Amino acid sequence: MSHETLTVRLGERSYPIHIGPSLGGLIRSDLAVLASSKRPVAVVADFNLSVAQPALLSETFAGLPSLVLPSGEATKCVERLGEIWRFLAQNRLDRGGVVVALGGGVTGDLAGFAAASHLRGVDLLQVPTTLLSMVDSSVGGKTGINLPEGKNLVGAFHQPQAVYADTSLLATLPPREFAAGMAEVLKYGLLADGNLFAQLERDPVNSHTHPALPALIRRCCEIKAAVVAEDERETAAEGGRALLNLGHTFGHAVEAVAGYGDYLHGEAVGLGLVLAARLSQELGFIGAAEVDRTRAAVAAHHLPVRLRKPLPVNKLLDVMARDKKVRQGRLRFVTMSSLGVAQTTSGVEPTLVEKLWREAGAE
């Protein structure tokens, strides 16, 4: 079957996103080109992926040194980063070398940061294997790790040379992970495409067999590619790449306070989208009907709309104060002026944020 290719347009650093089923042949062909140029390649892979798709490592990446890391958000840490650095050094990955990130968002972010920093930067290929990483994290060049103090507080911008979104791999993705990926699809509808959001309202996508899924993946990549091309390093004073963080200021706080791994990233983002809608309502941007629609769509995709168990509100607020979008000590959120149009909003009062957390089940 054929695949589609989009381009992230960044001048001389532009790169393709290949989307479609059974991309193993394409990947092997591209690896053969690297081998003919005597460029060393090393693979960093996710454990669950290696178990669910053993042929991917044994056939597509046969003969290449590979490091398989434990699955889950807790792997995105300083210690595992050091493990990858040593793996790359031991396998003599020189400045012509290429790191392959084979897994979901955790693997892509972690291996991407290792590639950005090994020998001050080597090339990277992203092979996302979860829905969330296909529609979001593998595209755009953000890499990084978590600290106990907060999510993604250390990292680098490091664009890949190519992204291979092989939709066949979604057949073995657990339902909970699939739902987590749909949180990012909902996010794209809410921030940039009201028609996409309305489509998901009418016809929730809860399986890899849903006929609309390939087009959804392509649309999300189109939106992200356009935003990244305009504001690659998130330097726009308002709007820009920061809009891609709709729901994430709330969601990252949930992940950090609950303990990395208690909530999947997409689950925390799903809850964050509901809270972002409520914040938008409180600020007078949207009405109660839009909040209800957001909440219903999140729930229809099997994502949480409230905290599963109470979390301390003071800790949630403390983590938010260290969020990357904070400017001059002031909280900065992504809000919605309508379903499908997002904006950045500064100067939100902490008392209002506390009120929303308590509504969501914090204490």
Residue numbers annotated as active site: 120, 142, 184, 224, 234, 241, 245, 248, 252, 265
* Alpha carbon distance 40, 119 (integer Å): 14
Q: Are 238 and 343 spatial neighbours (Cβ–Cβ below 8 Å)? A: yes
131-153 exposure pattern, b = at least 16 Cβ within 10 A, e = fewer = bbbbbbbbbbbbbbbbeeebbbb
Q: Are strands 142-147 and 66-69 parallel, antiparallel or unpaired?
A: unpaired
Residue 316 has phi, psi (to 5 degrees) of: -60, -45
* Alpha carbon distance 307, 347 (integer Å): 25
| E-strand stretches of the chain | 4-8, 15-20, 41-46, 66-69, 98-103, 123-128, 142-147, 150-157, 162-166, 332-338, 341-346
At position 165, the amino acid (one-letter code) is: A
* Alpha carbon distance 78, 329 (integer Å): 26
